[in-house]
């Protein structure tokens, strides 16, 4: 399986994101396009970045009734993206519908992964506000098992949860993990963080790295450092 570093392109305009990507003249990074850029620039920015030779994780975290998600996924698969996602809390029926919608006329489809519990949700809030009585870990694992049962390819989780998820869902079930920082850089607003090499040791398949690369003095060097630490 191809492990890789995905750069979170959290920019709000075409000019900014293309200016950033222009710096990468050798290897074309796998990039994550989130809501901010997609809502600002629409599907055309996805086509444009794809045409430049990048793999794309379209991070729109769909969550709606199964029929609506299926139809929306069918539109997104037409964008020739490589990976996209839904919220596991939309239920297994919604995840199965999403998967059906993603299959292109030629039988191919992007990878589909599920968001379990957002890393911004604490166990206390989950229990008090969402009335989920289990622990955060149990909830993440249960949602991962639902995603696997629905035929999805993997989940987004903390690198610290990768091992547990792999143990119960199998090595081939992908873990895509944000919250990565270099040992000598600041943590920003991320709390449960690991370095790229630790994420590799813990079994992450893809690490999602934003600010340590996008805000670096030399983003290309920072990207290479991530690759070197994660892929060795
Ligand atoms: O800049 P930073 O490396 O913190 O960026 C991490 C990226 O991963 C952001 O785009 C953020 O929205 C995303 N993400 C996250 N935690 C999750 C899911 C997505 O940090 N649980």
pLDDT in tens, 108-134: 999 999 999 887 888 999 999 999 999
Residue 204 CA to ligand 1 centre (angstroms) = 15
Domain that holds residue 117: 4-231
pLDDT, tens only, 67-97: 999 999 999 999 999 999 999 999 999 999 9
Q: For ligand 1, atom 20, which residue shows the shortest CA distance?
A: 178
pLDDT over threshold 80, residue 171: yes
- 137 Cα: distance to centroid of ligand 1 (angstroms): 19
Count other C-beta atoms under 10 Å from residue 191's C-beta: 11
The proportion of the chain whose per-residue pLDDT surpasses 70, expressed as a percent, equals: 100
The model's confidence at residue 189, banded by pLDDT at 50, 70 and 90, is confident
Q: Give residue 180 CA to ligand 1 midpoint distance, Å.
A: 9
What is the model's pLDDT at position 1?
62
Contact in structure between 115 and 156 (CB atoms under 8 Å): yes
CA angle 87, 192, 39 (to 5 degrees): 40
Which tokens belong to 176? 């895509």
Give CA–CA dist 128/133, Å, rounded.
8
Mean pLDDT of the chain: 95
What integer pLDDT is reported at residue 140 of this predicted model? 94
Residue 172: per-residue pLDDT: 97
Q: Which residues 6+ apart lie within 8 Å of 207 measured at CB? A: 5, 6, 159, 177, 178, 180, 196, 199, 226, 230
Given the CA of residue 188, which atom of ligand 1 is nearest to it?
Answer: 4
Which residue's CA lies nearest to atom 19 of ligand 1?
A: 178
Beta strand 30-34 with 154-156: parallel, antiparallel or unpaired? unpaired
Give the number of the atom of ligand 1 that is nearest the alpha carbon of residue 34: 10
61 in active site: yes
CA-nearest residue, atom 10 of ligand 1: 8
Residue 63's φ and ψ, nearest 5 degrees, are -160, 100
Query: In this predicted structure, what is the pLDDT of residue 76?
Result: 97
Task: Give the HSE-up count for residue 199: Cα atoms under 13 Å, Cβ half-sphere.
Answer: 32
How much distance in Å is there from the Cα of 60 to the middle of ligand 1?
12
Among 3, 50, 61, 198, the active-site one is 61
Per the listing, tokens 């970045």 go with: 49
- Tally of domains within the chain: 1
CATH code of the domain covering residue 75:
3.20.20.70
Record the pTM.
0.95
Contact 159, 179 (CB under 8 A): yes
Q: Are 114 and 84 in contact (CB under 8 A)?
A: no
Q: Please tell me whether residue 177 adopts helix, strand or coil conformation.
A: strand
- Ligand 1 lining (C-beta closer than 6 Å): 8, 10, 34, 118-119, 156, 178-179, 188, 190, 208-212
């Amino acid at each position: 399986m191809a492990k890789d570093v995905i750069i979170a392109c959290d920019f709000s305009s075409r000019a900014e994101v293309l200016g950033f990507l222009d710096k990468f003249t050798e290897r074309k990074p796998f990039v994550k396009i989130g809501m901010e850029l997609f809502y600002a620039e629409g599907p055309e920015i996805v086509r444009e970045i794809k045409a430049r030779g990048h793999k794309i994780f379209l991070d729109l975290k769909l969550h709606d009734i199964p029929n609506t998600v299926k139809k929306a996924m069918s539109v997104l698969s037409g964008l020739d993206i490589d990976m996209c996602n839904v919220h596991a809390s939309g239920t297994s029926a919604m995840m199965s519908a999403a998967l059906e919608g993603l299959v292109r006329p030629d039988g191919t489809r992007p990878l589909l992964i599920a968001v379990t519990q957002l890393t911004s949700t604490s166990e206390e809030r989950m229990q008090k506000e969402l009335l989920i009585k289990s622990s955060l870990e149990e909830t993440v694992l249960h949602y991962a098992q639902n995603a696997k049962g629905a035929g999805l390819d993997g989940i987004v989780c903390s690198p610290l949860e990768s091992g547990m998820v792999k143990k119960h869902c199998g090595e081939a079930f992908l873990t895509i993990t944000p919250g990565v920082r270099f040992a000598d850089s600041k943590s920003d607003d991320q709390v449960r963080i690991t370095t790229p090499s630790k994420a590799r040791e813990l079994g992450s398949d893809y690490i999602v790295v934003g600010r340590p690369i996008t805000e670096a003095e030399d983003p290309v060097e920072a990207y290479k450092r991530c690759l070197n630490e994660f892929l060795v």
